[in-house]
Amino acid sequence: QNCTSTVWDTALISHALQEGGISPTHPAIVKAGKYLMKRQQKRVGDWKVHNLKGQPGGWGFSDSNTLNPDVDDTTAALRAIHPFRMGRQGPAYSSLWKKGVSWVLSMQNLDGGWPAFEVNTDKIYLTWLPYQGMEGFSTDPSTADLTGRTLEFLGKKTPLHLKDTTPLQRGLRWLFRNQEKNGSWYGRWGVCYIYGTWAALTGLMAVGVPTYAPAIQRATRWLVSIQNEDGGWGESCRSDVEKRYIPLGASTLSQTAWAVDALLSVQKMKSDENNQKAIVRGVHFLLRNGQRREWMDSYPTGAGLPGVFYTHYHSYRYIWPLLALSHFHNSGG
If residue 172 lies in a helix (H) or strand (E), which one and from where to where?
helix 166-177
- Return the pLDDT at 50: 87
Active site residues: 72
Position 2 confidence tier, pLDDT thresholds 50, 70, 90: low
The contacts of residue 138 (CB under 8 Å, 6+ apart) are 126, 127, 129
273-289 and 214-225 helices, crossing angle to 10°:
50
In this predicted structure, what is the pLDDT of residue 122?
73
Spell out the domains of the chain, with CATH numbers in brackets. 1-107 (no CATH), 118-333 (1.50.10.20)
CB 56 within 8 A of CB 43: yes
pLDDT digits (tens, 9 = 90+) for 102-150: 999 999 999 999 999 999 987 543 444 434 444 555 678 999 999 999 9
> Mean per-residue pLDDT for 223-233?
98
pLDDT score of 190: 96
**Cα–Cα–Cα angle for 281, 222, 192, nearest 5°?**
90
Q: How far apart are CA 9 and CA 31, in angstroms?
A: 14
Say what the pLDDT of residue 58 is.
Answer: 97
* Beta bridge pairs of residue 309: 305
Q: Is the peptide bond before 237 cis (omega within 30 degrees of 0)?
A: no
Cβ atoms 144, 196 nearer than 8 A = yes
Dihedral sign, Cα of residue 125, residue 128, residue 131, residue 134: positive
Looking at residue 186, its pLDDT comes to 98
Average pLDDT value for residue range 34-39: 96
pTM of the model: 0.93
- 129 vs 21: CA distance, rounded Å: 50
**What is the C-alpha separation between 85 and 188, in angstroms, rounded?**
32
Alpha carbon distance 134, 241 (integer Å): 13
Residue 300, H or E segment: none
- pLDDT at 137 (0 to 100): 57
pLDDT digits (tens, 9 = 90+) for 43-85: 998 889 988 899 999 999 988 888 899 999 999 999 999 998 8
Any residues with CB less than 8 A from the CB of 289 and at least 6 apart, and which? 232, 251, 253
